[in-house]
Each structure stands twice: as structure tokens, then as C-alpha cells.
Amino acid sequence: MNGTAIIDLGTNTFNLLIVTQHGEEHQVVFKNKIPARLGAGGFAQQIITPEAFERGLKAIETHRESIAKHGIDKIYAFATSAMRDAQNSSEFAQKVARQTGIEINVISGDREAELIHKGVSRALEIGAAPELIMDIGGGSTEFIIANNKKILWKNSFDLGVSRIFEYLKPADPLDESDIIRFENYLDENLQNLFSAVNQYGIAGLIGSSGSFESLADIIVKDTGPRNSLKGKTEYLFSEKVLKALHVKLVKSTAIERSQMKGLVPYRIETIPLASTFINYIIKKFSPNKIRLSTYSLREGVISELELG
């Protein structure tokens, strides 16, 4: 089959996208997400733990089987924060190559931000006035300021929600001291972002996939069976509804969150922190509109394939 498999080896999830080529364009024929949790338990020591090593390997093998079923030969595998940091990432990559034949390309945070921008640009129209793109990962969070012509500024911060969860060890539910500690930590570590926003200004906030998509899923599931994100690449948040959901998440226990429709199991633990992060950015910058892009890094790779 004339197609390509793209694997995004994120810190929390390993995402597979299989596309076929039709003329100069690519069409998605299969996608799957597996919660490999490659970074879990290893942030402080900068390692992939033995348990995470095995989870990651099994996830790659499952994706390899899906790729084989579709008769795809071209495979592009990209790894991000967890493998950028881990001292034993080369050992993991070598074992993956031996057992599956898949070569892993560990990309920089700057390159990750670039691909995220390309994916978001494929999903929705960025305005003439600068907008802030935010991609919350498990190990890192990327921020990009862009308009409809170009990227104006971009940076990757070691502020992924799984990394922060292991650092803060918050209560369940979050208490006020957890939120204060988290926001103080963000104040200390996002000075470059504050300077960039001060320089360029932003009209809107665009959340790329991940935690933003989980929040949108919860909202649309709560508003009735006719509402769905299926087939959509963009979603406009109501700031009022988003704020109400944030308050609910922060006050909820893990058991209560496990009952929330639209919330995938692997985000139950970290979604209150992710929501707190988003709420912090909204308070800081007061964007005129808040949107979800269901496209991210993987779709950015598609854009590059189409450019040749």
C-alpha cells in the first residue's frame, strides 16, 4: 500500500497514525493511542524505569502489528521529552530497532514545537493577530506564538503534567496549597513566555490535542448525545463552561473522575493539574477566544510529507 505510518512516542502515550497518499494529499486510514507512560517514575533520575521500558516496548510491538496489517513499509517514529531526558534512551531505541525494525528519531523541543505548529495549522485557521498555541505533554509543554503567516516565537518547557505530578505529589483532590505551589512554580519557570507575550501580544489561545481534547470530550459528552468531536479538527470553548469544569475537576477525587464520561483512564490522575495549568494561562493572558486543535505533532509530519 502506498502509505506511511507515523508514531509519536510521547511521554505518556504512544500515538500511531497511518495515512495513504492520494495525489499530493494524505488521508488518515487508521489511528491508535496506547498509554505507554514511558516517563512514569523516572523523571527525577532521568531514566526509563524497567516497568516503563516494558510498557513502551509492548506498545511499539502493538503498533508494529497494526502497521503490518495495513501493508505499510514507510515508518516515521518520533520521540519527545521522556527520551530526550532519559540516560538509557539509546538502550530503549536499540531494543525497539532489534525487535521491530523501527528506528526512533529523538527530536528536540524546538523541533517538536515546529511540528505542533504545522499540525495545528492543518486543523484550523490561525488569525492575522498572533495566537498562543499550547501543547501540554507528559514531560514537556510547548508554547508557540504564531499568526497566519509564520511562527513568531516558540519554546519547549520541562513542564509536562506527569513530570509536575511527580515533583509536586499533590493531594487528591487538589488542595489550595497544591495550586499555590504549582502556580508559583509556573511563575518561576515561564519568564521567557511572559516576555514573548509582552512583546507580541496574543488574541487567542489554541490548545493542541492531549489534555485540551480531554476537556472538550468531557464537555461535549455532558451536553448530550448529539454533540461529538468525531470528525472535527477544531472546537471553540466557552470560557464560562471551561471555568466551571475546572472548578469541578479540582474538587474531584480520582474515583469521581473515573466516572466522568469522555475522560480517558490515563488522564484521570493528571487532568486536575492540566486544567490548573490552562486556567493559569487564561488568567495571565485573558485570550479573546479559546480553541482546541485536535491535530498536533503527528499531523504536522503529514504536512511535511506532502511538501515532499
Cis bond before residue 173 (omega within 30° of 0)? yes
pLDDT < 70 regions, the chain? 1, 224-227, 307-308
**pLDDT confidence of residue 22:** 80
Residue type at 274? A
CATH number of 119-297: 3.30.420.150
Question: Model pTM?
Answer: 0.96
Cα separation of 127 and 289, whole Å? 11
Cα separation of 157 and 141, whole Å? 5
CB under 8 A, 24+ apart: contacts of 42-50? 42/82, 42/86, 43/85, 43/139, 43/162, 43/163, 43/166, 43/167, 44/166, 44/167, 46/85, 46/86, 46/87, 47/86, 47/87, 47/88, 48/82, 48/83, 48/86, 48/88, 48/89, 48/92
For 178-208, b where at least 16 C-beta lie within 10 A, e where not — what string? Answer: bbeebbeebeeebeebeebbeebebbbbbbb
The CATH superfamily of 3-107 is: ATPase, nucleotide binding domain (3.30.420.40)
**pLDDT confidence of residue 222:** 83
Contacts of 108 (CB under 8 A, 6+ apart): 84, 156
Question: pLDDT tens for residues 199-233?
Answer: 999 999 999 999 999 999 999 988 765 567 888 99
Residue ranges, comma separated, of all CATH 3.30.420.150 domains in the chain are 119-297
Nearest to 112 by CA among 25, 210, 24, 4: 210
**pLDDT confidence of residue 162:** 96
Residue ranges, comma separated, of all CATH 3.30.420.40 domains in the chain are 3-107
What distance, in Å, lies between the first and last C-alpha atoms of the chain?
A: 18
**pLDDT confidence of residue 226:** 57
